[in-house]
Structure 1
Amino acid sequence: MTDSLDSTDTLAHGAADPVAERTLGIVLVSASAVAFALTGVLTKSIHADPLTITCWRGFFGSILITFYVLWRRRRSGGRESLRLGWRGWLLAVEGAAASIAFISAFKFTYVANVAVIYATSPFIAALLAFLLVREKFRLQTMLAAAVSLCGVAIMVGGGLGSGHLFGDGLALLMTTGSALYMIMVRAFRDSPVVWAGAVSAFLLFVLGWFVTDPLAVSTRDMVLLATFGCSFALASILWTEGSRLIPAAESGLLGSAEVPFAILFALLFLGEIPPMASIIGGAIVLCAVFAHAGRDWMKAKSAGP
């Protein structure tokens, strides 16, 4: 998901009621989780190959996110720089690579598998942060990571011989890439993260334009591709605005709702029922994720404003 711009201006700027502001934040972040959860259904519903999908998703998404960034910049009086620098470009390239793996994974395995494996990204990020920058690894995070790893092992093990192992591998690769992206965002605090996301999406459009035949898509697929790009941009914008209004722990907890929504949408729109190994492994991972996020939320709540 997209981190917020470094700006103190919010949609609820000047609001006198903190309760109303918090409620708006909860609604926006929850809505972003629902929009992000459509990724699996849309990817599987489009007949085009993964690179063509990322091409058009990047095209429509980059345009809308660019309009949003320019709108934010105008509201802030031009204080927000659009200069990427090498750090911003590194974020854009790394994000583009993770997106390709993300979209491709849905083509080769169950939506539930990709969604659940992706849910472990905070734990992988914590592990990578410990290994790369010696960031403190909390005991509760270590325990939750160990439990979620067991769940992923059960899920991936159930895919052996079923033809879904490649997709599960892509999901693990994408999750590792996303975890690395989280670390880079924290390390490159001065970089315009949302703008880097727009550039990343446009890079995917350029790549797809030269290595695939993006115009060789049906009218049906083009409509779905435009919808996909718009939902991606909408989810990013909702998350950016909503996460400004509520604590980070609460944003993380609400964002975790993306996983069950993705599985539910796959069941409702695709009739996709994952095998028992995926259900058991997924349940273990979700318990670890929600317990970890819930504990952080309770701790932040007890600490007060």
Structure 2
Amino acid sequence: MKSSPYVAGLVIILFSTIALSTAGLMARLVSLDSATILVWRGLAGGAALFLFFLITSPQRKLHGLGRLGWPGIAIAVVSAAGMVLFIAALLETSVAHVSIIFATCPFVSAGLGFLLLGERPGRSAVAASVAAVGGVVVMVGTGEAGSLFGDFLALGMTVCVALMTVLMRRYPAQPVLPSAGLAAFLSALAALSFASPFSASLGDIASVAFFGILGFALGIGLLLHGSRLLPPVETALIGALDAPLAPLWVWLFLGESLDEATVIGGSIVMAGVLFHVLWDLHRRQVGIEVGP
């Protein structure tokens, strides 16, 4: 069935988004600086990813690592940069702002996908991307929550994720788990000189490690795998579901409220994303060609 890789990609990216959306909750639950969070999160997540790689590919582990090459290293470096900016942004601005700014990733992915891969996004994808940008403008331009510096960090993280998905699409033969594990270790290494990992309490370390394994390692592994099955703009659009999920967890568990501009902007973003996904699935079901 022609649409099966597409549907599989949607499901994988959906579960990836749910897992990764817990990062904001983790950042609020612990009393650690961003560098220390990155160290413990990167070590726990990287170890989990490499362990899973060795368990699932015992006969191909050396071959897979040998095939990493410069594309795999580039993917890992870009991903690590996104991880660093992501955690820093969570501690500088609101979870809602980080999530909704990330929802502009379809727009960035569409542009990078066109420039680097020659993939022309469909009209509904372009419309959804424009809606995402409009929603963020409403949120950042009129809202009182968050900070411009934190919003800027979130934008940098968004560019990194968009570039990562494009690179995964461009080099689908790259081993996913080693790239993700290397990215996690690189993020920990980059933060190490600014961190105080041994001054953290055991409870905080355990919390970060827990989310690093079940949230980050699982989420990033699924994201990198699913990115090979979907065009970059599709991956980013599904990932935009992080926008309502991340502040939802923080609101449910910690009671962090949302201002009116964030609610309005987020609603605009999500309306555009859901319209595109539902319309694209409908077109595929009726047999209309919708792109690569």
TM-score (norm. length: structure 2): 0.83
Does the 8 A contact of 2:85 with 2:157 survive in 1? Answer: yes
Task: Indicate which of 44, 50, 56 corresponds to 2:34.
Answer: 50
Task: Indicate which of 99, 102, 107 corresponds to 1:118.
Answer: 102
Counterpart residue type for residue 202 of structure 1:
F
* Number of aligned residues: 282
Residue number in structure 2 paired with 1:3: none
Task: Indicate which of 217, 223, 227 corresponds to 1:233.
Answer: 217
Q: Whole-Å Cα distance in 2 between the matches of residues 299 and 80 of structure 1?
A: 37
Say if 2:219 is the partner of 1:209. Answer: no
Task: Indicate which of 254, 258, 267 corresponds to 2:251.
Answer: 267
Q: Whole-Å Cα distance in 2 between the matches of residues 240 and 183 of structure 1?
A: 10
| SS state at 1:211 partner | coil
Instruction: Give the direction of change, closer, same or farther, for the CA distance of 1:104–1:189 in structure 2 (3 Å limit).
Output: same
Residue number in structure 2 paired with 1:136: 120
Say what the alpha-carbon RMSD is for the aligned residues.
3.3
Say if 2:21 is the partner of 1:37. Answer: yes
Q: Whole-Å Cα distance in 2 between the matches of residues 258 and 164 of structure 1?
A: 19
**Identical pairs, percent:** 36
Larger CA deviation: 253-262 vs 93-102 = 253-262
Residue number in structure 2 paired with 1:63: 47
Does the 8 A contact of 1:249 with 1:297 survive in 2? Answer: no
Q: Whole-Å Cα distance in 2 between the matches of residues 77 and 171 of structure 1?
A: 34
Q: Whole-Å Cα distance in 2 between the matches of residues 72 and 64 of structure 1?
A: 12
| Structure 2: 5+ residue stretches without partners | 1-6
Residue number in structure 2 paired with 1:165: 148
Q: Whole-Å Cα distance in 1 between the matches of residues 120 and 11 of structure 2?
A: 32
Q: Whole-Å Cα distance in 2 between the matches of residues 82 and 70 of structure 1?
A: 14
Larger CA deviation: 207-216 vs 225-234 = 207-216
Residue number in structure 2 paired with 1:186: 169
Residue number in structure 1 paired with 2:56: 72
Residue number in structure 2 paired with 1:19: none
Does the 8 A contact of 1:29 with 1:239 survive in 2? Answer: yes
Task: Indicate which of 180, 198, 201 corresponds to 1:218.
Answer: 201
Task: Indicate which of 262, 285, 292 corresponds to 1:278.
Answer: 262
1:34 Cα deviation from its structure 2 partner: 2.8
Deviation readout 1:186-215 (Å, 9 max, x if unpaired): 122232233111101011222233332211
Does the 8 A contact of 1:253 with 1:297 survive in 2? Answer: no
Q: Whole-Å Cα distance in 2 between the matches of residues 29 and 140 of structure 1?
A: 19
Counterpart residue type for residue 190 of structure 1:
A
Instruction: Give the direction of change, closer, same or farther, for the CA distance of 1:140–1:131 in structure 2 (3 Å limit).
Output: same
Q: Whole-Å Cα distance in 1 between the matches of residues 150 and 108 of structure 2?
A: 19
Does the 8 A contact of 2:109 with 2:236 survive in 1? Answer: no
| Structure 1: 5+ residue stretches without partners | 1-22
Residue number in structure 2 paired with 1:175: 158
Deviation readout 1:152-202 (Å, 9 max, x if unpaired): 101111246x55222112111111111111111112223223311110101
